[in-house]
Amino acid sequence: MPEMVEEVRAPGPEARPELDDAGASPELPDVVFDVQRLSVLYGSFRAVRDISLRVHEHEITAFIGPSGCGKTTMLRCFNRLNDLVEGARVEGRLEYHGVDLYDPRVNVTEVRRRIGMVFQKPNPFPKSIYDNVAYGPRITGLRKGLDDVVERALRGAALWDEVKDRLKASGLSLSGGQQQRLCIARAIATEPEVLLMDEPCSALDPIATTRIEDLMQEIKDQYTIVIVTHNMQQAARVSDRTAFFTTEVGASGEARTGVLVESDVTERIFSNPSDERTENYVTGRFG
């Protein structure tokens, strides 16, 4: 016992690298998304204003904040899913590995293949479990080796052992937690680089929630994960970096616009945040 313990080195107080104002540092992992003064408008309504933050590789980044502060809007910009909403447009810059995602030359379907998404309410297709997971690969033209792809994706989503004997059963016959893991398997079947998760556990019971949180920790070193969550404690448990959003009333008293208050490593947000609004939100003084 003493030998094993001797190997473990206690980290000193200087273990955490010093961060500069922009939250970047030479030792930090690569930047996947670089958001620069992004605003999203639906028609004339400005949903989020002037957002600047960075998402780093192989980290879990959480967006937290009260209702209506634009977290989901922000998330849906990363895979251009906001395009599906009529009248949505974007100002500012959103770079993915240096490429502006809103450049007119960008191929949107290719973007969505590399940046997958899991939604709040599990939405498996009314097909068999196998066909659900195989849907993405089939779209990309894969005909052979589908069995392997499906198995790999289901194992990756920690669902294989529970469904391997009934792959032909309907996806809708699974429980809520299993359906959500099926949706995760479906999303990772196309081997994306990034996984966006929009409140993935809000419709699930605590045990299913914990399983999915465990899953996120396990797959973190293969994917980059951005998660929107209403549940602050989930962000505290799971994420490496947290961004806190809130709403501000517009200049002329018009509708509330979402703004980014603070984005930092999670330990700091939950032990010693820089902004008073963040402190009020995480301590539960103000919603």
Partner 1 sequence: MAQPPGPLRHGYHAELDQLRLQVELMGLRVEENLARMRRVLGDGDGATMEAALAADDDIDAMNCSLTERCYDLLARQAPVASDLRFVVSVIRVIAELERVGDLALRIVKLGPDVGLLASAGEAWRILLAVVDEAIERHHRALTAWSTQDLALASEVATTPCPLDAHHPHLVAELRRIEGPEAVRTAMGLLVAGQAADRIADHAAVIGARIRYLVTGEARHLAAEVR
Partner 2 sequence: MTTIAPPGPIDDRARGLLGGGLALRRRVADALVTGGCVAALLVAAVPLLHLVVTVASRGAGAITPAWFTRSIQGNVGQLASQGKINDAFAGGAGTLAQGDIVLGMQPAIVGTLVITGLASLLAIPLGVLGAVYLNEYGRRSRPASALRFLTDVMTGVPSVVMGLFIFSVWVVPRGATGLSALAGALALACLMLPIVVRSTEEMLKLVPDNLREASAALGTRTWRTTVGVVIPAALPGITSGAMLAVARAAGETAPLLFTIGAVTRTNWGIDGVTTALPMQIYANATENTPEQALMAWGAALTLIVIVVVCTVLARVVTSRFSFRPT
**Residues in the site for partner 2, rule: CB under 8 A?**
79, 81, 84, 86, 109-113, 116-117, 119, 121, 123, 125-127, 135-136, 139-140, 169-170, 172-173, 183, 186-187, 190
Q: Applying CB under 8 A, does 1 fall inside the site for partner 1?
A: yes
Residue 139 CB, nearest approach to partner 2 (Å): 5
Compute the distance between CA of residue 255 and CA of residue 252 in angstroms, rounded to an integer: 9
31 CB-contact burial (10 Å; exposed 0-12 / middle 13-18 / buried 19+) = middle
Return the number of the residue (191 or 275) whose C-beta is nearest partner 2.
191
Query: Within 13 A of 245's CA, how many CA atoms are on the CB side?
Result: 29
Return the number of the residue (123 or 233) whose C-beta is nearest partner 2.
123
6 CB-contact burial (10 Å; exposed 0-12 / middle 13-18 / buried 19+) = exposed
Q: Applying CB under 8 A, does 207 fall inside the site for partner 1?
A: yes
For the chain, how far is it from start to end, CA to CA, in angstroms? Answer: 48
Q: Are 165 and 139 in contact (CB under 8 A)?
A: no
- With a CB cutoff of 8 Å and minimum separation 6, the contacts of 87 are 42, 43
* Strand ranges across the sheet with 256-265: 99-100, 88-96, 31-42, 45-56, 256-265, 241-249, 60-64, 224-228, 194-198, 115-118
Binding characters for partner 1, 11-50, by CB under 8 A (x = yes): xxx-x-----------------------------------
Residue 114 CB, nearest approach to partner 1 (Å): 27
Strands 60-64 and 241-249: parallel
Compute the distance between CA of residue 40 and CA of residue 171 in angstroms, rounded to an integer: 35
Q: Are 246 and 257 in contact (CB under 8 A)?
A: no
Binding characters for partner 1, 143-182, by CB under 8 A (x = yes): ------------------xx-----------xx-xx----
Stretch that binds partner 1, among 5-13, 23-31, 72-80, 123-131 (CB under 8 A): 5-13
Stretch that binds partner 1, among 10-18, 92-100, 110-118, 123-131 (CB under 8 A): 10-18
By a kind-dependent CB cut-off of 5 to 8 A, residue 276 interacts, out of partner 2, partner 1, none, with: none
- The site for partner 1 (CB under 8 A) is made up of 1-2, 4-6, 8, 10-13, 15, 161-162, 174-175, 177-178, 207-208, 210-211, 213-214, 217-218, 233, 236-237, 266-267, 270-271
